[in-house]
Structure 1
């Protein structure tokens, strides 16, 4: 499964060259695009690819920088090609007529007017490769070496093989971009190293079981020294002394500045030389790294298997995204359907009121109450006796 990018972009090294030609730092370019400087470093190293609106803005800015660089560059003077001026043709000299051959019977035989000229053989036209054939050729050319290099970073054979396969699957998914890149092997190598050194690898159950070390004691000691280095220093050492990249290319692939990369390289060499003094010479270290990677029998899978695995993973991700989207839409529709259209305040629960005397139901009067009522009725309703009661 392949996908064509929405907007064409120059290769990562060309992006960095356009920025440096325009005398812009990564921070300045990041401010103009609206991203962080780390994102610009990832774009220029080829680890990640801009998408969406950021890709449109980045492509437009690079196009503007390229046009400004073309305007600043002096135009070369036009040169006349040799074919632009007519050349005098030499006059044809008369050729002597061949003498007729005389046969034994004495009859002359006619000779042909001219000898047949050999026809020029046309050069074979280059055969255009299909995307699958081009991918298989790249995989067959670089996969074995990348597996050995990744083994120097992880010390695990299965993890190195899986990292390279995942990197090539990502390359097949973004094949139109990788095919136009000036260094497709570098694109795949950066992706494989990033996957191999991911801290999430430690959480996998397979990481808890150690693999058998190399059989040679010298190789085992060198591999232990490499694994004791910090991941960034180890990656810098493998790229510079193992793969053979120069310092700017190593800095671009590790997303660091050139001084920081040089400092990491020196510290990594010092750490290895402290454990193995015989490897203090960079040439000897390069030879030993190559021997350590070559002594391990690491085989990569077949290209069609990697392509099919990448396509299968892409289909699974697509189906999972579709299922998640359908579930989200269904949940949203159900919520909209069942949600109330107006607010109804909740009814507060009842509470018992204390301190109020209990209500007495009316009933028959007692004898004392009847006597008191009769006494009140017999007395006068007005007069001084009502104002000043007397004791009886």
Structure 2
């Protein structure tokens, strides 16, 4: 890349961070430089290299957005910038650079992504607490699977997709805390835009936020929403039409992108500290591990008890009782007849003297 009067350009991710730190949209940068929004998006993703007069203007703009140098000649860095520049894992760290521990890499990714993700989740749900909860839950899942997430091509995209899935889950409507609506934004224009967003189907709302809010291109939006590119384009078109029908001044996509950014930025949405998220994630992981162990022990115990008490041979079942018919009724007791009295006396006398003794007779 040629050197320009403004000096060498920083890496693409740093350019994007400087733009977002100055609350500038890609459309605004494109207007100042004199290129299209797609060109700025390609520059920030590293797909193309800025060159020519437009590249020199872009370099001057980035240099103006960078913090001024301090007395020792180094630039001032905010905590987000410092964490972002060090958000590399030990596996991907270039030779000669100290590798970060998993805790440091996670904290760097959290400091860079969490604030923007909370604002995006608010656009999806219209609930401040649910937006924070969705982002924190996504990072907790990422910490539980950190070796896989750290090696992912786009860890921020992995966490964003997880947070969106949690935020748009239909089961939240059954939770007690989410049955009553939250207080809407104070500005009437913001209320109208948020109301129009929440009336969209979840898939349309997610596509609109990803394309016009986050700034992804159409294939990336389609991939993240698990749809084909034509289907994502159709959802985006219908979502824009529905929003424009309720808020006519947002028929222009550039105006819609600007208003989405402003709506997400006006709300004071702060995520928890990364150490808190990691601690809660570890506790939740320990809890579910212990619950799984207890459930397994219960299953093994129940199986052993069943094997111990189960019969070893077949025992036929007892037939059910049946009523017996045709048995004569027992006669009632009455006075004995003379014959029966004589017989009774004879039997009593024979029982007292016993039978006559038998002797063998000689022949």
TM-score (normalised: structure 2): 0.64
Residue 355 of structure 1 and its aligned partner are, at CA, apart by 3.1
Candidates 183, 188, 192, aligned match of 2:159: 188
The change in CA–CA distance for 1:220 and 1:347 in structure 2 (over 3 A counts) is same
- Once residues 195 and 281 of structure 1 are traced to their aligned partners in structure 2, the CA distance between those partners, rounded to angstroms, is 30
1:1-392 equivalences under 5 Å are 125-358=96-329
Cα distance in 2, alignment partners of residues 127 and 211 from structure 1: 46
Q: Which runs of 5+ in 1 are unaligned?
A: 1-123, 368-392
SS at match of 2:226: coil
In the alignment, the residues of structure 2 paired with residue 300 and residue 356 of structure 1 have an alpha-carbon distance, to the nearest angstrom, of 88
Partner of 1:9: none
Distance 1:359 1:146 in 2: 93
- Larger RCO: Structure 1 or Structure 2 (Cα < 8 Å, ≥ 6 residues apart)? 1
Decide which structure has the larger Cα Rg and report it.
1
Give the drift of 1:290: 0.2
Cα separation, 1, equivalents of 2:194 and 2:331:
98
In the TM superposition, residue 356 of structure 1 has moved relative to its aligned partner by 4.4
Change (3 A) 1:300 1:350: closer
* Partner Cα separation in structure 1 for residue 152 and residue 322 of structure 2: 77
Q: Distance in 2 between matches of 1:358 and 1:213?
A: 89
Residue-by-residue CA offset, 1:82-130 (whole Å, 9 max, x unaligned)? xxxxxxxxxxxxxxxxxxxxxxxxxxxxxxxxxxxxxxxxxx9311100
Structure 2 SS opposite 1:200? helix
CA distance in 2, matches of 1:300, 1:252: 27
Name the residue aligned to 1:91. Answer: none
Gaps of 5+ in 2: 1-94, 340-363
Post-superposition CA distance 1:190-242 (Å, at most 9, x none): 00000000011111111012211101110011000000000000000000000
SS of the counterpart of 1:128? coil
Aligned residues: 245
Q: Post-superposition shift, 1:344?
A: 1.0
* Aligned mates of 1:230, 1:350 — CA distance in 2: 65
So what's the TM-score if we normalise by structure 1?
0.60
Q: C-alpha offsets along residues 28-69 of structure 1, whole Å, 9 cap, x if unaligned?
A: xxxxxxxxxxxxxxxxxxxxxxxxxxxxxxxxxxxxxxxxxx
